[in-house]
Amino acid sequence: MRVGFFVTCLIDLMRPEIGFSAIKLIERAGFDVFVPPAQTCCGQPAYNSGDRRIARDLAEKTLREFEQYDYVVVPSGSCGGMIRVHYGDLFADDPELMGRFGRLRPKVYELTDFLANVAKVELTPGDFPGPVTYHDSCSGLRELGVKRQPRDLLAQAGVAVTEMKDCEHCCGFGGTFALKFGDISTAIVDEKCANIQASGAHAVVLGDLGCMLNIEGRLRRTGDTTTRVLHIAQVLAGDA
């Protein structure tokens, strides 16, 4: 089966090693992975900022590049949510595009959802030192229903999870929200960082790079140089 891998802008530009870890996991599960070389943004920043023209152009581009594959896997809840949930809004006035999107939509999966529910992987316990705590990103949780999947996969891999207080609360990033409402964003991420530290875990694991960069950046700026902030693909692939 052919999997189209949507890299995401932040992974491509800032943490490409996460993309390689995700691809490794998909290939280990027996799938052929293809990375369309001309792929760019899913359109989420433009969409969230009200620029529907640019968002639609990017959505059409993504549709053209990925509709040929059996599955589309995204290592980010926010980009996955944009494609699976919000493209329907952008294409609502075009029956032809809506028809094509209707065929693509059920093939789009966030990484852990794909591994758990499509590939049905059986992971071998590794030697990653636990415990970790897990942060549920807003889009993955609320738009794609990603909750049990990463925890079940971590358990398979022998990684103990200690739940933090308010694990489902926002980290304060929200894309342009962090730029437009800096003081509010800072207060939210400070609360998230305090909950991570109070959990006693040596690492926080998550599935969205926006959250990852926001949390890690705040931890480091406030003097925490020891708590690791890891994408779940890195942990499951044995690359952390």
For 187-240, the pLDDT digits (tens) are 999 999 999 999 999 999 999 999 999 999 999 999 999 999 999 999 999 998
The answer as to whether 197 is a domain residue is yes
Domain boundary among 118, 153, 168: 118
Instruction: Kindly state whether residues 107 and 64 are assigned to the same domain.
Output: yes
How many structural domains compose the chain?
Answer: 2
Predicted pLDDT of residue 175? 80
Instruction: Kindly state whether residues 98 and 148 are assigned to the same domain.
Output: no
Q: At residue 151, does pLDDT exceed 90?
A: yes
The Cβ of residue 78 has, within 10 Å, a number of other Cβ atoms equal to: 27
Q: pLDDT, tens digit, for every residue of 208-217?
A: 999 999 999 9
Structure tokens at 185: 């964003």
Model pTM?
Answer: 0.95
Q: At residue 177, does pLDDT exceed 90?
A: no
The answer as to whether 180 is a domain residue is yes
Instruction: Kindly state whether residues 48 and 81 are assigned to the same domain.
Output: yes
The domain in which residue 218 lies consists of 132-236
Structure tokens at 232: 């779940």
Predicted pLDDT of residue 50? 93
Instruction: Kindly state whether residues 170 and 97 are assigned to the same domain.
Output: no
The answer as to whether 126 is a domain residue is no
Which residues, 6 or more positions from 51, have their beta carbon under 8 angstroms from its beta carbon?
Answer: none
Domain boundary among 118, 152, 183: 118
Domain boundary among 118, 150, 180: 118
CA distance 117 to 127: 24
CA distance 32 to 70: 10
Instruction: Kindly state whether residues 202 and 103 are assigned to the same domain.
Output: no
Q: What does residue 205 show for φ and ψ, rounded to 5 degrees?
A: -115, 145
Predicted pLDDT of residue 129? 85
Predicted pLDDT of residue 126? 84
Predicted pLDDT of residue 130? 78
Predicted pLDDT of residue 180? 87
Averaged confidence pLDDT in the chain: 96
CATH code: domain of residue 139: 3.40.50
Instruction: Kindly state whether residues 114 and 138 are assigned to the same domain.
Output: no
